[in-house]
Structure 1
Amino acid sequence: MRFRNPAASSGDGQSAPHDLGAMPTTNPYAVSRRSGGLLSSLFLVIVIAAGLSFIPLPYVIFQPGPITNTLGDLDGKPIIQVKGATAYPAKGALDFTTVRVSGGPGVRVNVFELAEAALRKDYEIYKREEIYPTETTREQVQQENAAEMVDSQEVAAAIALRETGRTVPERVVVSQLPEGSPAKGVLEPGDEIVSVAGTATPDAAAVQAAVRAQKAGTPVSIVVRRSGSEKTVSVTPRDVQGRTVIGVALGRDYELPVDVTITAGGVGGPSAGTMFTLAVYDVLTPGDLTGGKRIAGTGTMEPDESVGPIGGIRQKLSGARNGGADYFLAPADNCDEVVGHIPDGLQVVKIGTFADALGAVKAIAADDVSSLPRC
């Protein structure tokens, strides 16, 4: 796309004859017919440009966002704080990366923002419905992002504590009951699911397996722990696309032996989970995990310690390099998007689990990166 300068040349190369020293016979402040036409055209261009800037377009733009060192401070306080255990000073940087999102619920982009994004290699343009469901509101997006951030921080703390040899008990709880759920009015948010049809359910996978083993339409007995005491309830599951479900969203409630607080500012979403886990582990263990290196990365941290894929990997790569990172930890499932979009000077390491991420950081600290897997 090309842009033209709206300024145009006025005049045809010929000057009007006049008698030097004589008084002008016309008003010197009068505008010529040609100049008046040009001014009118320029005014029209300005009006059109102003109008275009107010026309919202149904697109979303991803662009590189800032990076934040999880081992550093935010507003004068450490991002990672622990109580009930020794916090060891950490050098270097374990940066979580972000994406700036323009457009979406409550905020629309205009033609000029879209044109700029089309010219930038590190920007991406999506149709709004590719990113957000049609009826989604801005408040819903903010609430969901905040909830995902809190969950990712809790998982990060639990896994890091387990990696240091501590025991972290886990409870499976009801987190949400959507409208129309067969369990609505029977189960409540916060209920800990102890067993399903007599089968103990120590984790979410066990709950799902026990429910799916039941027959849709037949009441099933579920034992929950509510307000400190156990209670038996009956829920009639239903069939959804060949699977037996009770219509609840499950969450995990960890009993952390150490009080871990993670402050991320106004950033939401789950994609900083891997970097949070590494940072908490570094703070809880003696020595300098990074060897003073600046390492950025991304990826959700799942309860089974696997690293999940994220959106905006291209923007996060650019943001990491712009922020001064030399290394980047990328989820293995994002590798197809990484190839061909690695900024000069940035080394990208492929990770699939927390063990991979921890091993990669230790290798980078030791300047032994030749055998690390790459995308």
Structure 2
Amino acid sequence: MVDQPPAAAALPDEPAVPDEPLVSDEPLASDEPDEPDDLGPAPRTSPRALTLSIGMLLTAVLLTVLVALPAPYAVSSPGPTRDVLGDVGGAPLITINGAETFDSSGELRLVTVSSTGGPGYPSSVSGVLRGWFDASTVVQPVETVYPPEASQEQINEENTAAMVSSQENATVAALTELGYEVPATLAVAGTVEGTDAADKLVEGDVISAMDGTALTTYTQLIEMLGAVSPGDTVTLTVQRDGEDVDVPIVTGTNADGGAQIGVYIDPTFDLPVDVTIKIDDIGGSSAGTMFALGIIDKLTPEDEADGAVIAGTGTMDVTGEVGPIGGIRQKMAGALRDGASWFLAPVSNCDEVVGHVPDGLRVVKIETLHDAREAITAIGAGTADDLPTCTAQDVAAG
């Protein structure tokens, strides 16, 4: 998550010039030499003291300039956290209409990373130096983090789009986890080159059935494909130019070894419950898991966390799968700083977790929203001792 960059650090105070002893050569002239002179001897600065003062002044100016100069590094540090069950600016972070909601006594905190070094927010030399000596901060060459041609406007737009998508995915996944049916229109946004679908389906087709079974939800399509072996032929019914067209598709193999039809789908969901998520100062998609947990907590009478402060991270897709994120070490540090004693981490990030968990924080690894839901319930009930955590085996497996 790119967050707003931290406020610029204050420049160091100018060093004080040490006092030199005053040197008296002769008394001041007076019309009445017999009376004591109240002004005392005239001060005189030695050449050595003058040289030292000028040198220290120049050094202070030089240090001030160096501190203010931009540095060619990106600095990532623990960012703010937000309780998805709480308020932002006096309004609930998550608002739900169309269903009964319930209060909670615990906290579910999304976590962020604060970054400098991107367009419009250069890192300072002092920030880089602090980062090198802070175990919770990462300093990298700026070109490894931000594309050289990217503008701040482009980065902001991408982060905003990712946040909007994250909120919708979290809502669909949470409602599905709770047993709601979430109808969807499954429009084809494009095809994968080299697949059988590439020459048979076109952008704008709407998939309405597979092998004669009507498709009403995105989850239903995924589940039906899960029962198909790669290489099998499925018949998709699509709405094209106002007509239903049956299209036979020879399935391919996806990255997990399952069957795929070779299309990009842009689903439009008809949500049975109105969920609004208000969070304007954070971008990216890594808060999806915590958004989904917050929705579940509000829609269930059980007080899942039951007073516990639980932080976590992970992208969320509409099927409830938790995906990897960046900056997990900074996020764990921010969670501990803001009072969390538990942290939910994607299993795909375990290689970055092992050996870097701050003292006082317990990490639970999760792969799905259902895993995360069971974890917060166990934590709230005080039965979390057996929850899985990241281990060396997870690192080896990754």
Match of 1:311 among 308, 326, 331: 326
CA contact (8 A) 1:327 1:346 kept: yes
The equivalent of 1:363 in structure 2 is 378
Cα distance 1:230–1:96, how it changes in 2: closer, same or farther (>3 A)? farther
Q: Tell me, in whole angstroms, the C-alpha distance in 2 between the residues paired with 1:55 and 1:171.
A: 52
Q: Tell me, in whole angstroms, the C-alpha distance in 2 between the residues paired with 1:112 and 1:90.
A: 42
Identity of aligned residues (%): 41
Cα distance 1:8–1:81, how it changes in 2: closer, same or farther (>3 A)? same
CA contact (8 A) 1:172 1:253 kept: yes
Match of 1:333 among 332, 348, 368: 348
The equivalent of 2:75 in structure 1 is 61
Q: What is the 5 A alignment of 1:193-204?
A: 193-194=206-207
Match of 1:42 among 33, 56, 65: 56
Q: What is the 5 A alignment of 1:188-267?
A: 191=204, 193-194=206-207, 250-267=265-282
CA contact (8 A) 2:188 2:207 kept: no
Question: How far is 1:28 from its partner?
Answer: 3.3
The equivalent of 1:158 in structure 2 is 172
CA displacement, residues 15-58 of structure 1 (integer Å, 9 cap, x when unaligned): 8576799999x993554322221222122212222322343222
CA contact (8 A) 1:123 1:315 kept: yes
Unaligned runs of 5+ residues in structure 2 are 1-11, 31-36, 192-197, 246-261, 391-398
Question: How far is 1:166 from its partner?
Answer: 1.0
CA displacement, residues 192-234 of structure 1 (integer Å, 9 cap, x when unaligned): 64389x9999659999xxxx99xxxxxxx996679xx5699xx
CA contact (8 A) 1:68 1:97 kept: yes
Q: Which AA in structure 2 matches 1:131?
A: V
CA displacement, residues 125-177 of structure 1 (integer Å, 9 cap, x when unaligned): 12212222121111111111111111111111111111121101233446799
Q: Tell me, in whole angstroms, the C-alpha distance in 1 between the residues paired with 2:363 and 2:29.
A: 77
SS in 1 for 2:105: coil
Q: Over alpha carbons, which structure has the higher Rg?
A: 2
Cα distance 1:280–1:175, how it changes in 2: closer, same or farther (>3 A)? farther
CA contact (8 A) 2:74 2:142 kept: yes
CA contact (8 A) 1:172 1:204 kept: no
CA contact (8 A) 1:71 1:91 kept: no
Q: Tell me, in whole angstroms, the C-alpha distance in 2 between the residues paired with 1:317 and 1:353.
A: 19
Cα distance 1:55–1:205, how it changes in 2: closer, same or farther (>3 A)? farther
Q: Tell me, in whole angstroms, the C-alpha distance in 1 between the residues paired with 2:55 and 2:291.
A: 57
Q: Tell me, in whole angstroms, the C-alpha distance in 1 between the residues paired with 2:129 and 2:44.
A: 39
Q: Tell me, in whole angstroms, the C-alpha distance in 2 between the residues paired with 1:348 and 1:335.
A: 10
Q: Which AA in structure 2 matches 1:34?
A: R
Q: Tell me, in whole angstroms, the C-alpha distance in 2 between the residues paired with 1:176 and 1:77.
A: 39
2:110 equivalent to 1:96: yes
Cα distance 1:223–1:163, how it changes in 2: closer, same or farther (>3 A)? closer
The equivalent of 2:93 in structure 1 is 79
Q: Which AA in structure 1 matches 2:356?
A: H
CA contact (8 A) 1:117 1:125 kept: yes
Q: Which AA in structure 1 matches 2:138?
A: E
Q: Tell me, in whole angstroms, the C-alpha distance in 2 between the residues paired with 1:130 and 1:249.
A: 29
Q: Which AA in structure 2 matches 1:86?
A: E
CA contact (8 A) 2:163 2:284 kept: yes
CA contact (8 A) 1:10 1:38 kept: no
The equivalent of 2:308 in structure 1 is 293
Q: Tell me, in whole angstroms, the C-alpha distance in 1 between the residues paired with 2:176 and 2:98.
A: 15
Q: Which AA in structure 2 matches 1:89?
A: D
CA contact (8 A) 1:80 1:279 kept: yes
Cα distance 1:6–1:35, how it changes in 2: closer, same or farther (>3 A)? same
Question: How far is 1:314 from its partner?
Answer: 0.8
CA displacement, residues 218-269 of structure 1 (integer Å, 9 cap, x when unaligned): xxx996679xx5699xxxxxxxxxxxxxx99753322111111111231111
Cα distance 1:122–1:224, how it changes in 2: closer, same or farther (>3 A)? farther
CA contact (8 A) 1:171 1:192 kept: no
CA contact (8 A) 1:80 1:280 kept: yes
Cα distance 1:315–1:175, how it changes in 2: closer, same or farther (>3 A)? farther
CA contact (8 A) 2:315 2:322 kept: yes
Q: Which AA in structure 2 matches 1:258?
A: V
Q: Tell me, in whole angstroms, the C-alpha distance in 2 between the residues paired with 1:367 and 1:132.
A: 43
The equivalent of 2:389 in structure 1 is 374
CA contact (8 A) 2:111 2:287 kept: yes
2:367 equivalent to 1:352: yes
The equivalent of 2:288 in structure 1 is 273
Q: Which moved more, 1:60-69 or 1:335-344?
A: 335-344
The equivalent of 2:144 in structure 1 is 130
SS in 2 for 1:168: coil
Cα distance 1:251–1:10, how it changes in 2: closer, same or farther (>3 A)? farther
Cα distance 1:43–1:273, how it changes in 2: closer, same or farther (>3 A)? same
Q: Which AA in structure 1 matches 2:289?
A: T
Q: Tell me, in whole angstroms, the C-alpha distance in 2 between the residues paired with 1:48 and 1:187.
A: 63
Unaligned runs of 5+ residues in structure 1 are 178-182, 214-220, 233-246
Cα distance 1:373–1:22, how it changes in 2: closer, same or farther (>3 A)? farther
Give TM-score, length-normalised by structure 1. Answer: 0.77
Give TM-score, length-normalised by structure 2. Answer: 0.73
Question: How far is 1:294 from its partner?
Answer: 1.0
Q: Which AA in structure 1 matches 2:313?
A: T
* Cα-Cα RMSD: 3.8
Match of 1:118 among 126, 132, 149: 132
